[in-house]
Structure 1
Amino acid sequence: MNTPAVLQPVRVWDLPTRLFHWGLALAVAGSVISAKIGGGAMVWHFRFGYVVLALLAFRVLWGLVGGRWSRFASFVYAPTTLWRYLQGRAAPQERLDVGHSPTGALSVFALLAVLAVQLGTGLVADDEIAHQGPLFMLVSTDNSLAATSWHKTWGQWMVLGLVALHVLAIVFYLVKKRINLVRPMLNGDKSLPPDTPASADGRTPRALAAVLLAACGALAWWVSKQGS
């Protein structure tokens, strides 16, 4: 008779990653809502955009030096690995469901890429009425208008679509697989075999994250001052 594996809490999502996740969610929501309101709320649309800039820049850096399961190296999968995962043939020692699974990784990279494009087009946008991105002078008028059109239409809908898919995936895992993906992003831990490597989440990595975030915030502030 096989003895069931004993599971224990393992730190998967370090605090900087969790704060990034929820901060980005709030910033994107604020950006969308303020854009829909328009008028005087556009000031906040730009402010939320600069927050998104700082957070995305931070995530790129943290993907290189952050906790084990937050690093890009832990969830950049080969096509063959993705295919085996979809077929349910992943080996337990691969630990594909500890951090971002192969399908979850695709979702993460897609959302980050679409947000980066949406941010970039917003920075060079010009509605020819009252609002211009701080970097609009770096591109031609035609390119600025094309960026503005994308930002207001396809870009916006792609962001909303990916966010909706993200939420639906969370609901699917909770209802169909009885796996709560939200709780670990709140407390950082998952119930896993005791030999699962944990992410470093002590004072030193948190201090490093604070320094990196401050630098990214300074970058966003500098960008906001261009064109003024």
Structure 2
Amino acid sequence: MVVLVIAAYVTSRYNWMTCHVCLGRCILTLLIFRILWGFWGSDTTRFRQFLVRPSTALAYARGFFSQRGVTHIGHTPAGGWMVVAFIFVLSMQVLTGLFVNNDVVRVGALFGIFSANTVDAVVSAHGTLFLLLMFFVTIHVAAVALYWIVKRQNLVRPMATGIQYLPPGGEKPGIMSMRRTVSLFLLSVIIATMIGQL
């Protein structure tokens, strides 16, 4: 997802809109997969597993520096809401992209449905949402750095590999089968393709 978002930004800057649209569809596919995975995936990826009340997440964030020895299996209370924020902003980014056009080519799958003024507003929102996404990315990177500096916890390795070393006595979370993973991914491809052909 990180590589796709960076590539989408580069292609938009250079006005390579055909590639930009293809990247947008790939991002949409991964977003759909992540949402499906949040309901039927492995234990640590399920929304019900890591989403807590906002007040609980805020209390965790406020006590960050006093909770030195706490290790969470999967997402932390605040990290879970960051996942939701990323999914929401990226989803809005992709959905507004379905209406986008420029002077070179009419690229959005849903271009032409709304009036020119409405499309202009959506195009503006498409750019603003990217700035909001970068804001969340900055917060996320800063949080990962703080975990390393303050708690001496390396969050990059588990995010990159999916492997986390459990604390003593920690219960191993359930991992979904490869068959379910492939099935959900193929379903995501089908849904994204259908949306792209509207």
Deviations 1:75-108 (A, max 9, x none): 111134224323439xx9xx87221112212221
RMSD of aligned Cα (Å): 2.3
Structure 1 or 2, whichever has the larger Rg, is 1
C-alpha separation between the residues in 1 aligned to 2:13 and 2:104? 17
Show the counterpart of 2:43.
Answer: 68
Task: Please show how residues 75-154 of structure 1 align to structure 2 within 5 Å.
Answer: 75-88=50-63, 97-127=72-102, 129-152=104-127, 154=128
| 2:186 equivalent to 1:209 | no
C-alpha separation between the residues in 2 aligned to 1:220 and 1:198? 33
The structure-2 alpha-carbon separation of the partners of 1:131 and 1:197, relative to structure 1 and needing over 3 Å to count, comes to: farther
Task: Decide which of 44, 47, 68 is 2:19's aligned counterpart.
Answer: 44
| Stretches of structure 1 lacking an aligned partner (at least 5 in a row) | 1-23
Show the counterpart of 1:54.
Answer: 29
Deviations 1:181-200 (A, max 9, x none): 01112333322234423233
TM-score (norm 2): 0.86
The structure-2 alpha-carbon separation of the partners of 1:62 and 1:171, relative to structure 1 and needing over 3 Å to count, comes to: same
Task: Give the deviation of 1:65 after TM superposition.
Answer: 0.8
Task: Give the deviation of 1:47 after TM superposition.
Answer: 0.8
Task: Give the deviation of 1:54 after TM superposition.
Answer: 0.5
Task: Decide which of 142, 159, 163 is 2:137's aligned counterpart.
Answer: 163
Task: Give the deviation of 1:68 after TM superposition.
Answer: 0.8
The structure-2 alpha-carbon separation of the partners of 1:88 and 1:161, relative to structure 1 and needing over 3 Å to count, comes to: closer
Preserved CA contact (<8 Å) 1:125 1:147: yes
Which of the pair has the greater relative contact order for Cα pairs under 8 Å at 6+ separation? 1
**Amino acid paired to 1:33:** V
The structure-2 alpha-carbon separation of the partners of 1:150 and 1:117, relative to structure 1 and needing over 3 Å to count, comes to: same
Preserved CA contact (<8 Å) 1:58 1:212: yes
| 2:196 equivalent to 1:219 | no
Show the counterpart of 2:162.
Answer: 188
Preserved CA contact (<8 Å) 1:125 1:136: yes
Preserved CA contact (<8 Å) 1:170 1:182: yes
C-alpha separation between the residues in 1 aligned to 2:19 and 2:173? 35
Preserved CA contact (<8 Å) 1:135 1:223: no
Task: Give the deviation of 1:126 after TM superposition.
Answer: 2.5
| Stretches of structure 2 lacking an aligned partner (at least 5 in a row) | none
SS of the residue aligned with 1:31?
helix
C-alpha separation between the residues in 2 aligned to 1:88 and 1:200? 29
The structure-2 alpha-carbon separation of the partners of 1:88 and 1:164, relative to structure 1 and needing over 3 Å to count, comes to: closer
Task: Please show how residues 12-31 of structure 1 align to structure 2 within 5 Å.
Answer: 24-31=1-8
Preserved CA contact (<8 Å) 1:127 1:145: no
Task: Give the deviation of 1:44 after TM superposition.
Answer: 1.2
The structure-2 alpha-carbon separation of the partners of 1:192 and 1:65, relative to structure 1 and needing over 3 Å to count, comes to: same
C-alpha separation between the residues in 1 aligned to 2:85 and 2:132? 10
TM-score (norm 1): 0.76
C-alpha separation between the residues in 2 aligned to 1:28 and 1:112? 13
C-alpha separation between the residues in 2 aligned to 1:103 and 1:76? 9
